[in-house]
Amino acid sequence: MDYFQYQVPRFWYRFYWAIMLAFNLLIVGFYVSTHYVPELGSYADTFALTNTALVMSGINLVYLLAIYWSVARYSLPFATLIGYLLFSAVALYGMSQTSMQSGSYLYIAVWVVAMFLNGAYGLLVLVGAAFLTMMYAALQSNFQFAELSTPSMALLAGSVVASAAAYFFWRTRYISVQDQKVTQLSGMLRSNQQQSEILIRSIADGIIVTNTEGKITLINPAAAALTEWSVEEATGLDVQLVAKLHKEDGSEIAAEENPFALVLGQEKYINQALQITGRRGKKLVISLVASPVIVPGTKAPVGAVAAIRDISEQRAAEKQRAEFISTASHEMRTPVAAIEGYLSLALSEKVSTVDNRAKGYLEKAHSSTQRLGKLFQDLLTSSKAEDGRLNNHPAVVEMGAFMQQLTDDLKFAAEKKGLFAEFIVGDGGATIDATAKDVNAQHLIKPLYYAYVDPDRMREVITNLFDNACKYTDTGKISIGLTGNTDLVQLYLRDTGAGIPTDDIPHLFQKFYRVDSSATRTIGGTGLGLFICRKIVELYRGRIWVESQIGKGSTFFINLPRLSNQRAMELQVPESARSTAAIVNPTTSTNP
């Protein structure tokens, strides 16, 4: 309701209220005086002090004294405007009943004052009141303007003067709230635009903004340098033409898998390491973070924004470090294995004889050598996993049979510690205990969960998780589970151990990270096992995570893409053909 309001002091609205209150009190006072004081009776006809006038003024007073302030708590201008409408009805009634004769000057005077005060509501209310005045005067003279009475002419002249005075008075002294908002918004936009341009140009990372068609609408100098285009030339071109992207190893990216196509078409958030080829052929390894631009109030993106960082030097340093670790680990495995072998011989009663004290020292040395060998092996595996050299031979695997066999192999390690191990297929009411001895349970039909993975690598992941569960679980059981839906195969391993602190969970799959607790300080480990597990699972476009509560145990989950039965059969045919070819011609390579 404040749309026509000028940003004026509250004093003016209260002054307007006082004028209306005084006028209506005057009408009521005159009415009482003319009816109870005989000498003033003649004024009743002069000023049209009828019962109707009394009722109308009474309604005005009730509103002004009882209702006005309740409305004013929400909007003072709106409360005053309602009062003006009631007030104008009384004034118009008085002018009509006095037939625009001498008694009308009282009503004309307050009407002109009201016209002036209406300027606080802006030009539209002012013009509306002036139009109402002209129509009233025209009706009084039957549209014979040449026959206007003196009061009618005074009404028109006063209204014109009051309107003009009101317009210039309010316009020159106070600023419209709407104008102020527009001015403020324009200033903010200009200011924000300038600030944004300064910030974007100052950012060391490359910034590219596109519209929904993939055309570049903004590119900063850093991005221009990475793509080897100038800012002026790149603006307006297709982003895939300017930013030519390949996979980190240099292989092509399918058109539908292009990061910008995924962001604009599927509204995906992208965070990838890729290779970019500049306009003049320069190749760089970059980190690309891209996301859709969503404007509040809209569902579809209005464009995409991407941040590009050159990580070529970082990747080169990581490669050198990985090569060093790989070489050192490989070279150290031989002497460590030799030391472990000699210590084993020394501990063998058939080979040598040592006293119990010396035997204790040798056993500690042998245990330490085994841990050292495990560390070198994990370092080598993690290094290969990081730079993509990890041996990987994926095949179609029916995860139900695979996990059941794996559980049978692993359960003996749990039983040595007094723990119960079980394999469960399904979840909720459909749970099937695959290790149950009940004949009916064994004959239940289990769903086939196919996945395209390397069984040796997945065995390494599950074994690592199972060994950790055994280490950190003192009593209870370890459950290996398998479930899924049409798109996913989910493996989980649940224990009844001490649990993992909430603060440690986000870092658990990082390299060399170990939970700092009394248990981990007494139980050996390299801090690389879960990191290697994550890398292996990611090889198959899977995901691994953990949920845990202190004192209630932990559950590790693995999600893998599920193959349909038809797709599994299609993939198994080429595998069978390769196996047959390898038997017929042993020199043929079987590597995929």
Q: With CA atoms as reference, report the closest residue to 460 among 544, 567, 524, 516.
A: 544
Residue 12 CA: distances (Å) to CA of 117, 159, 218, 441:
8, 19, 50, 87
Residue 362 tokens, joined: 């040798």
Mean pLDDT for the chain overall: 79
- Above 70 in pLDDT, residue 466? yes
Between CA 83 and CA 61 the distance in angstroms is: 9
The predicted pLDDT at position 145 comes to 60
Angle made by CA atoms 467, 472, 478, in degrees to the nearest 5: 60
Angle made by CA atoms 467, 472, 474, in degrees to the nearest 5: 110
Residue 136 tokens, joined: 């009233």
List of long-range contacts for 144-148, beta carbons under 8 Å, 24+ apart: none
Residue 527 tokens, joined: 């801090």
Residue 409 tokens, joined: 């192999």
What are the pLDDT digits (tens) for 163-218? Answer: 777 777 776 555 455 555 545 545 554 555 566 666 777 788 899 999 888 899 88
| pLDDT average, residue stretch 434-457 | 67
Half-sphere exposure of 260 (CA within 13 A, CB side): 24
- Beta bridge partner(s), residue 425: 432, 482
Coil, helix or strand at residue 210: strand
- Is there a contact between 151 and 100 (Cβ–Cβ < 8 Å)? yes
| pLDDT average, residue stretch 282-298 | 85
| pLDDT average, residue stretch 471-494 | 92
- Is there a contact between 531 and 381 (Cβ–Cβ < 8 Å)? no
Per-residue burial over 74-88, b if 16 or more Cβ lie within 10 Å, else e, is: eebbbbbbbbbebbb
Least confident among 27-31, 126-130, 301-305, 390-394 = 126-130
Coil, helix or strand at residue 224: helix
Report the relative pairing of strands 477-484 and 420-425 from DSSP bridges. parallel
Q: Could you tell me which residue, 459 or 185, shows the higher pLDDT?
A: 459
The predicted pLDDT at position 578 comes to 55
- Above 90 in pLDDT, residue 590? no
- Above 90 in pLDDT, residue 462? yes
- Above 90 in pLDDT, residue 559? yes
The predicted pLDDT at position 347 comes to 81
The predicted pLDDT at position 73 comes to 82
- Above 60 in pLDDT, residue 3? no
Residue linked to tokens 């006072």: 29
Q: Could you tell me which residue, 285 or 94, shows the higher pLDDT?
A: 285
Residue 253 CA: distances (Å) to CA of 156, 234, 245, 287, 387:
80, 22, 7, 15, 19
Q: Could you tell me which residue, 218 or 526, shows the higher pLDDT?
A: 218
What are the pLDDT digits (tens) for 231-261? Answer: 888 889 999 999 999 988 888 888 888 888 8
Confidence band for 592, pLDDT divided at 50, 70 and 90: very low
What are the pLDDT digits (tens) for 34-46? Answer: 777 766 666 676 7
| pLDDT average, residue stretch 267-280 | 88
Share of the chain above pLDDT 70, in %: 80
pTM over 0.75: no
